[in-house]
Amino acid sequence: MVPTAGIVIIGDEILSGMVQDSNSFFMAGELRRVGIDTRHISVVGDDVDEIAREVKEISGRYAYVFTSGGIGPTHDDVTIPGIAKAFRVSLVIHDTLRDFLVKHFGLYLSPEQLRMAEVPEGAEVIQDNAIGLPLILFRNIYILPGIPEYLREKFHVITRLIFSGAPPVMKKVYLTEYESRIAPLLNEIVREFQNVKIGSYPAVHRKDYRVMVTMESRDEECLRSAVQSLLCGLSPDKIVRIDDQGVP
């Protein structure tokens, strides 16, 4: 079975519209590239109880969970306390994180700096030369920063060290037919080829085609059969082109 993932974006600044989230878009694309299906993306505020409820539910539904935001030394960085509350564990100082902070800030850490070494009891840390502060992993939850540059650095470490899998292959079929007319055919193909994901996207301002149909699967033979079923159900003059697209 294809492994699944859920993403939880944390931060009042996202909900208020002050900051536009780009982290979920990036992570979903990277997960797709390494063969993991993102099934859930949510946004919650800087509230311990809300974080606890969301993370507990999502961690039970999907193989992997990725949180973004709410880790740091300030009052609104409450992701780690939220995760600890979700699983009824204590907050503890992780020696590896504390040692890193001492090297960075000096021997005497302020209470705010020491907060950055707190983890839910039982958490692991992942060290790598490509990142600064080590990654925090608690059960199936990867706890990531909200700053996009830092998140991407850490996420590349995750995909390089941990994940591997067959990426999906996609074909895009461009048609001059109306979506409503091909809907019955698409419904038949969906029923017959259940491991092929099919999307239909009307084009509003294009003159060369009216609909782009995407067909995606990790089973290339099944994908070829599904595409052939689509083409056989269409008049040849309605087919503009077919593009092959693997995962970037």
Q: What is the pLDDT of residues 19-29, one digit of tens each?
A: 999 999 999 99
Which among 234, 204, 201, 202 is positioned nearest to 215, based on CA atoms? 201
Per-residue pLDDT at 248 exceeds 60 = no
Q: Which pLDDT belongs to residue 90?
A: 96
Per-residue pLDDT at 39 exceeds 70 = yes
Its pTM stands at 0.79
Q: What is the CATH number of domain 4-161?
A: 3.40.980.10
Distance of CA 8 to the CA centre of its chain: 9
Q: What contacts 24+ positions apart, CB below 8 Å, involve 14-18?
A: 14/43, 14/69, 15/43, 15/44, 15/45
Q: Which pLDDT belongs to residue 247?
A: 42
Confidence of residue 161 (pLDDT cuts 50, 70, 90): confident
Q: Which pLDDT belongs to residue 166?
A: 61
Calculated CA dihedral for residues 54, 7, 133, 30, nearest 10 degrees? 170
Average pLDDT, rounded, for the chain: 92
Which among 238, 131, 242, 81 is positioned nearest to 175, based on CA atoms? 238
Going from N- to C-terminal start, the domains of the chain cover: 4-161, 169-245
Q: What is the mean pLDDT of residues 10-23?
A: 96
User: What's the pLDDT tens digit per position in 108-127?
Assistant: 999 999 999 999 999 999 98
Q: What is the mean pLDDT of residues 194-209?
A: 90
Q: What is the mean pLDDT of residues 22-43?
A: 94
Q: What is the mean pLDDT of residues 27-53?
A: 95
Return the CATH class of domain 169-245.
alpha beta
Q: What is the mean pLDDT of residues 94-115?
A: 93
Confidence of residue 153 (pLDDT cuts 50, 70, 90): very high
User: First CA to last CA across the chain, in angstroms?
Assistant: 22
